[in-house]
Amino acid sequence: MTQGGAIRDATDLRSSASFGGVVPSVALSRDGSALVAALAVEHHTEGAAVPLLVLSEAPGVLASEPLEDAVVRDDRDRTYGVTLLHGQAGLGSLQASLWIEPAPPADARVLEVSVPSLSRLAPARGGSSVTRQLSGGPWDLAVDLVPPRTAAPVPARPPSEPPAAEGAGRVPSRSLGAFVDLVPVGQARIGAEVVACLWAIERYDDRALLTLAMLGPAEAPVPGEAVELEVWDDRGASYAAALEHVGSADGWSEIVVRMAPALDPRASRLGVRVEASPRSGGTSEFLFGIALPVSA
């Protein structure tokens, strides 16, 4: 058994040059006051990025530090070193990417990710905050490394223009109470300058969130703000798409896109056009066709 331990600064290990593919995930665990889901597994030469979503009913901002204690092993009982690559916390929600090392070998079929505990920041007297542990746990995920394909023919674009993108409101876009399900995507397109990786779609009562990563050369990452999206389905509906959050480092950007209205439950395919403008100049366009689960 390979023992995981402290690993190098992972921000230098993730770029378009090291990219080896992405697989979708529907792994989630709900216990106590929180839900934890794995959005995808992004393979690289020397490791892998595992983006996680945490939703909680508890009030306050979720803390990302407990994810550093996550334990990752595969179905061959190999243990991986884990470090927190990136995290963005909000009220009742947290998106964070774990970097695991070494890269899962070809014979690994399942990644077992265990999050022992979660916590939130609670306000205290004097303007400071204290950490409160959430009820429940551990949150155990079994991430299939050889899942079914999610690719589908790109539906025809509707002739109508998409609705105007809604501005950021006071109500958080993510909430456990409004969460419906997770639509796996796990698809990538490779261009001359950048790689576009679509991770997953989170469906909520009145909207959806699309998570993706843009990978570029280590010395010249694609700024997330220079990425535009169009989204439509096979029933002729277009969806407003607006950037919700962008986090970047050398070689990569992680992006959350807010889509409205909620996805039509009768739609069976989604079309996504991603346009990226790297700092080096020029524009890359990528088209994705995504199979959607159809409600009965």
How high is the pLDDT of residue 81? 96
Q: Which tokens go with 141?
A: 């995920």
Mean pLDDT of 55-68: 91
Residue 248's H or E segment, with its range, is strand 238-249
Under 8 Å between Cβ of 239 and 194: no
Q: Under CATH, to which class is 10-144 assigned? A: mainly beta
Residue 276 to residue 213: CA distance in whole angstroms? 11
Residue 73 C-beta-side C-alpha neighbours within 13 Å: 11
Q: Among positive and negative, which fits the CA dihedral 170, 174, 180, 185? A: positive
Strand, helix or coil for residue 130: strand
pLDDT at 113 (0 to 100)? 98
How is residue 194 written in tokens? 């950048």
| Cβ neighbours of 241 (radius 10 Å) | 22
Residues 95/102, Cβ–Cβ less than 8 Å: no
Q: Give the Cα separation of 279 and 24 in Å (integer).
A: 29
pLDDT category at 10 given cuts 50, 70, 90 is: low
Residues listed for the chain: 296
Which CATH architecture fits 179-291? Sandwich (2.60)
Give 151's DSSP letter: B
- The span from the CA of 134 to the CA of 136, in Å, is 6
**Cβ proximity of 216 and 276 under 8 Å:** no
Domain positions in the chain: 10-144, 179-291
pTM for this entry: 0.91
The pLDDT tens digits for 195-250 are 999 999 999 999 999 999 999 988 766 777 789 999 999 999 999 999 999 988 88
Whole-number percent of the chain with pLDDT over 70 = 89
Q: So what's the pLDDT on residue 4?
A: 42
- Identify any residues that bridge with 284 across adjacent strands, giving them in sequence order: 276
